[in-house]
Structure 1
């Protein structure tokens, strides 16, 4: 089943958003808001993680902290108390930055770059997914992993809403874990999409996930077999002549609706339950590489940054972070319309 755009009367508009000063100097790989404040952590290919304090009314942002990896940083996440930032990078290292002391220490190590990092607050562990085909869990007080799980291929995407953890790997593999028993996958499957996995985001309800691919398509997948008939896929981020990668999917923390953002430089808000696009926005002039909602869903941050999908010939030096003030009507679920 696909979204029927005729179901919605939304008209795409030009985003008029606040541009964060002093952005990264190279590609922006990930964004993450603190769960306790409007602090935004940003990882970049310039080897640094930056932390900005943003304004709830969207109109101000100030750089607060910065720490470094030895090579490009590919992922970033926060602790539940908002006092620590975790990041992983091409230096094969996972690091923890203490917001109060302004000190960073290494807490994780892999044989190849760490592509994904998440904090699992219920068990106070950091999960790291790597191109070395392993998923590791770390107690930050120990230099050895608490648990190592082998993956079928390189980790490309990962998300967690306890007890659900979903990993997307190369060759379109999807590993679904129940963290009550993290040693073995609860379910192993192939992506419902035909092309390479680009991003994964768990439903806020924890009973499924959205998966995006390089061919402008998103899959809405329910985990339990009894709900599997509700799973579907739909096309997005494409026009008459081109198909663009879906680079980021973020769920609204209050309403459970979600955003998609792509290499076409556009972002949209969607409602999976009524199968409607709630709001669309015109291109920002550069691919959108990462997105995040703040803790109460009033700010939507997105990064305009070239993601090398067209090689060096099409290189664009633009690296920018924008803050979009979220209107409730744009993200609030709507009743399903009759066909």
Structure 2
């Protein structure tokens, strides 16, 4: 089922058009495209992974200004970052086939994982009170789990294809793979794939985000679409997809990749951001767009909410969607956008 709601048009604005005037630029941004952003669940720290082979950690002040706190290196572009539940560790995965963990308290980093090809995604998957377990998804078509105290994986799961996207909200782990495969894992049985399904979207998966209540997930594609999927088949009637990040002029449409999807930690609404340089807030339950923002000046390559949901960080830079020449002067920036609660609160369902 495909739905159209709140897609971008070239005609004038509306009451749902947002304002970028209060956005604050992060100081000392990466030297190349930002591939991933992640906020600490315990403090106002933001981690940024970049194609310049570095991970940077910033402290966000109450004023919204930022201070660089730490930086560590890989031997190749860094594709993913994630924080441990207690906020003391940052994990990173790289094209150099390794994953590292940086300890906030000691300022030290060490390699904790290795694959036979690039590590595309990292996620801490520990449950409350358990030891930190890191899941790494790779282009070598495997998912591996690592106890940070050991040098070898505690388990390896074979996947149907290369990993392109991954997210987890305990006990759900969802892995988006090449050829539109989606592997769903229940972390109560972490070495078994609960189900492999095909993405309802016809083109490559770019990003996946689990519902905050772990009942399902949302995924977005390179072809300007988003899909809402429930894990339990009894809820399949609630599955739907919709078009977004398109510029429609008459009968013509410019279609853009949706590069990021992130759920609000409090309200369960979500944000998408894309190569068209815009981001939008959505309510999946009422199937409405809550807010749309104008072009920020370049493709948005990564985005994330902070722990309270009152900051939405987004990065702009080269995404190569138009090839090398049109993109090669695009500066890399990270911006912090304030999020008033009323912008993300769910709306009543529309009556038909």
Q: TM-score, normalised by structure 1?
A: 0.97
The answer on 1:185 being equivalent to 2:197 is no
Aligned mate of 1:202, from 210, 220, 238: 210
- Deviation string, structure 1 residues 88-145 (Cα, Å, up to 9, x no partner): 0011000010111111100000010000000012152100000000000000111100
Deviation (angstroms), 1:5: 3.3
Deviation (angstroms), 1:319: 0.4
The DSSP-based 3-state class of the residue aligned with 2:254 is coil
Distance in structure 1 (CA, Å) of the matches to 2:323 and 2:247: 21
- Deviation string, structure 1 residues 252-296 (Cα, Å, up to 9, x no partner): 000000000000000000000000100110010111011111111
Distance in structure 1 (CA, Å) of the matches to 2:19 and 2:134: 38
Q: Which structure 2 residue ranges, 5 or more long, are not aligned?
A: 8-13
Distance in structure 2 (CA, Å) of the matches to 1:258 and 1:55: 24
Aligned mate of 2:27, from 14, 18, 21: 21
**Are the aligned partners of 1:10 and 1:280 in contact in 2 as well (CA < 8 Å)?**
no
1:38-187 correspondence to structure 2 within 5 Å: 38-58=44-64, 60-122=65-127, 123=130, 124-187=132-195
Distance in structure 1 (CA, Å) of the matches to 2:98 and 2:37: 18
Closer/same/farther in 2, CA of residues 57 and 227 from structure 1, 3 Å limit = farther
The answer on 1:36 being equivalent to 2:42 is yes
Deviation (angstroms), 1:13: 3.2
The answer on 1:324 being equivalent to 2:333 is no
The DSSP-based 3-state class of the residue aligned with 1:292 is strand
The DSSP-based 3-state class of the residue aligned with 2:247 is coil
Distance in structure 1 (CA, Å) of the matches to 2:351 and 2:20: 30
Distance in structure 2 (CA, Å) of the matches to 1:104 and 1:15: 36
**Are the aligned partners of 1:158 and 1:167 in contact in 2 as well (CA < 8 Å)?**
yes
**Are the aligned partners of 2:5 and 2:243 in contact in 1 as well (CA < 8 Å)?**
no
**Are the aligned partners of 1:32 and 1:78 in contact in 2 as well (CA < 8 Å)?**
yes
Distance in structure 2 (CA, Å) of the matches to 1:5 and 1:89: 36
The answer on 1:335 being equivalent to 2:343 is no
RMSD: 1.4
Distance in structure 2 (CA, Å) of the matches to 1:185 and 1:205: 20
Aligned mate of 2:302, from 282, 290, 307: 290
2:239 aligns with 231
Distance in structure 2 (CA, Å) of the matches to 1:317 and 1:24: 13
The DSSP-based 3-state class of the residue aligned with 1:25 is coil
The answer on 1:314 being equivalent to 2:314 is no
The answer on 1:248 being equivalent to 2:249 is no
The answer on 1:218 being equivalent to 2:226 is yes
Distance in structure 1 (CA, Å) of the matches to 2:312 and 2:246: 22
Distance in structure 1 (CA, Å) of the matches to 2:339 and 2:284: 18
The DSSP-based 3-state class of the residue aligned with 2:235 is helix
2:11 aligns with none
Deviation (angstroms), 1:57: 4.4
**Are the aligned partners of 2:269 and 2:346 in contact in 1 as well (CA < 8 Å)?**
yes
Q: Which structure 1 residue ranges, 5 or more long, are not aligned?
A: none
Distance in structure 2 (CA, Å) of the matches to 1:115 and 1:284: 27
Distance in structure 2 (CA, Å) of the matches to 1:332 and 1:313: 41
Deviation (angstroms), 1:162: 0.7
